[in-house]
Structure 1
Amino acid sequence: MPDALAPRLKFGVIAPATNTIVQPEYDAMRPRGITNQMARVVIPDSPVGTDSEFAAMMGQVRSSIEGALDAVMACSPSAVIFGMSAETFWEGVLDTNALQAHLEARAGVKVILGVQACLAAIQRYGGIRRISVITPYMPSGDAQVRRSFTDSGFEVINLLGLKSNSPLLMAHEPPERLRRAVREVDDSSVELILQVGTNLAFTQVAAEAERWLGKPVLAVNTCTYWHALRSAGIEDKIEGFGSLLAEH
């Protein structure tokens, strides 16, 4: 439902309480006449230095998602953006499509998930099959990401997990480390580089890296916000965040 500051539409956005990157990056990409209304999934900033700690954190996140969804629906958004990506790659009781169907049935509006947004974004470049991926995760999370893209028909040439020590500390990875990660996963056979993990501040790094490498470099936050806009019929081209928002 539009309002005085959002005559075009309102997005509801769900992100973990530890995530400090989604809100400013989405707001920076926001076209005039659209607002982003946040709700937080309450989780502690637990250490994720081991695979078992990472899995425990994932369980805490999934148990809190429905409460955050119910909270954001109180402002009557036109759609809900899931500003968290590990949860959409993670195999569990619900796969990605089942998770989306469950959340949409609860919300009564379209729900945009990170993995589906990334796949839609890659498809817009046409014929891409060989990709590299950057994550903030531990090896167990990286395995879920690799499986998701392999199952979707892509060859994952290189995958680099940064092994950030906690959900909050993902946001502390400095730009120079992220730039170095891009160079580490690139080679001449890689057609596109994708970053996942919404609490990495990667949108600007991705836009810069496209200029260095001459190939698509996509940030999950850019993919997800782009997919939300296009799914809502908003075709504004937005400069400063790379080729996806500017050209597609």
Structure 2
Amino acid sequence: MPDVRGWRKKFGVLAPSTNTIVEPDFYMMSVPGVTAHISRIFMANTSRDGETTEATEQRQIRLEQEMKPTIERVLTAEPDYMVMGMSLPTFRDGVEGNRMWKARMQEYSGGLGMANGAEACERALNLLQVKRIAVLTPYWASSSNHVIRFFSEAGFEVVAHKDLECPSPVAIAHVEADRIRAALREIDGERVEAIVQCGTDLNMVELADEADRWLGKPVLAINAVIWWMALRENDIQDKLYGYGRMLRDF
């Protein structure tokens, strides 16, 4: 018998312990019969007034050590599918890095499919038939370089980008809408065909839907695009309004 709430699909969601945005975003975009069950990846809320490549690499090592036990915990709920609610690890080391990362996660989960930010953005941009993009992140350069590399290797030209350089993981969720609007206008331009926002703890889903209209081009909030990938990969075609054009039109 199916789950009485998740009678269509149960999603196991992996999210950083510091992240306070992605979980409510996924609940906000819920559809009947699909449930999201969160398992937290431990992450220390370390302050950052600068960022070195070495510090970024050390965090990645610790994160990788957390992934298997985090997945094992949520597997006890018997999910049908996995959703990665953290975007940076999915962009690391370019396109091949993403494919290798996903293969490891599927090994940990016993072969379950997994929506992830990098792959979801690539799919969305290809459907939108755009090639020149601008990128907004909450990261520092040592992290956003991985994002730019991924998109470049996937066949897109990153013509502009902006790093908000948030001082800690928790501080990402403190970025207000006015600052995001200003950043979007800063990276927009005539050559930009679409804007992509990375960082699942940035409060962007509803603002991206608004920005799509006043900029007159696709603005992809990563949480909405990840959720779109999760739904469509499971043949759930419900249209959602107010969260961007992917969930509305594709």
TM over 0.5: yes
* Cα distance in 1 for residues equivalent to 2:115 and 2:107: 13
List per-residue Cα deviations over 1:201-236 (Å, max 9, x = no partner).
110110010110111000110110000000011011
* Cα distance in 1 for residues equivalent to 2:57 and 2:169: 12
State the percentage of identical aligned residues. 36
Per-residue deviation, 1:71: 0.7
The 8 Å contact of residues 48 and 138 in structure 1, kept in 2 or not, is answered as no
Q: Secondary structure, in 3 states, of the residue corresponding to 2:171? A: helix
Per-residue deviation, 1:104: 0.8
Aligned residue runs from structure 1 range 1-248, under 5 A: 2-52=2-52, 53-91=55-93, 95-108=97-110, 109-126=112-129, 128-248=130-250
The 8 Å contact of residues 26 and 36 in structure 1, kept in 2 or not, is answered as yes
Per-residue deviation, 1:69: 0.7
* Cα distance in 1 for residues equivalent to 2:233 and 2:222: 16
* Cα distance in 1 for residues equivalent to 2:131 and 2:2: 39
* Cα distance in 1 for residues equivalent to 2:75 and 2:50: 35
Structure 1 counterpart of 2:34, one-letter code = I
* Cα distance in 1 for residues equivalent to 2:86 and 2:193: 25
Task: Tell me the C-alpha RMSD between the 2 structures.
Answer: 1.4
The 8 Å contact of residues 48 and 57 in structure 1, kept in 2 or not, is answered as no
Per-residue deviation, 1:137: 0.5
* Cα distance in 2 for residues equivalent to 1:2 and 1:102: 28
Per-residue deviation, 1:49: 2.8
Per-residue deviation, 1:83: 0.4
The 8 Å contact of residues 46 and 57 in structure 1, kept in 2 or not, is answered as no
Q: Secondary structure, in 3 states, of the residue corresponding to 1:218? A: strand
Per-residue deviation, 1:155: 0.6
Per-residue deviation, 1:117: 0.7
User: What is the TM-score when the length of structure 2 is the normalising length?
Assistant: 0.95
Equivalent pairs counted in the alignment come to 246
Q: Secondary structure, in 3 states, of the residue corresponding to 1:39? A: strand
The 8 Å contact of residues 7 and 34 in structure 2, kept in 1 or not, is answered as yes
List per-residue Cα deviations over 1:133-183 (Å, max 9, x = no partner).
000001111111111101111110101000001111111111111111111
Structure 2 counterpart of 1:226, one-letter code = W
Structure 2 counterpart of 1:8, one-letter code = R
Per-residue deviation, 1:62: 2.0
* Cα distance in 2 for residues equivalent to 1:153 and 1:91: 15
Q: Secondary structure, in 3 states, of the residue corresponding to 1:95? A: helix
Per-residue deviation, 1:47: 1.9
* Cα distance in 1 for residues equivalent to 2:67 and 2:49: 23
The 8 Å contact of residues 116 and 226 in structure 2, kept in 1 or not, is answered as yes
Structure 1 counterpart of 2:32, one-letter code = R
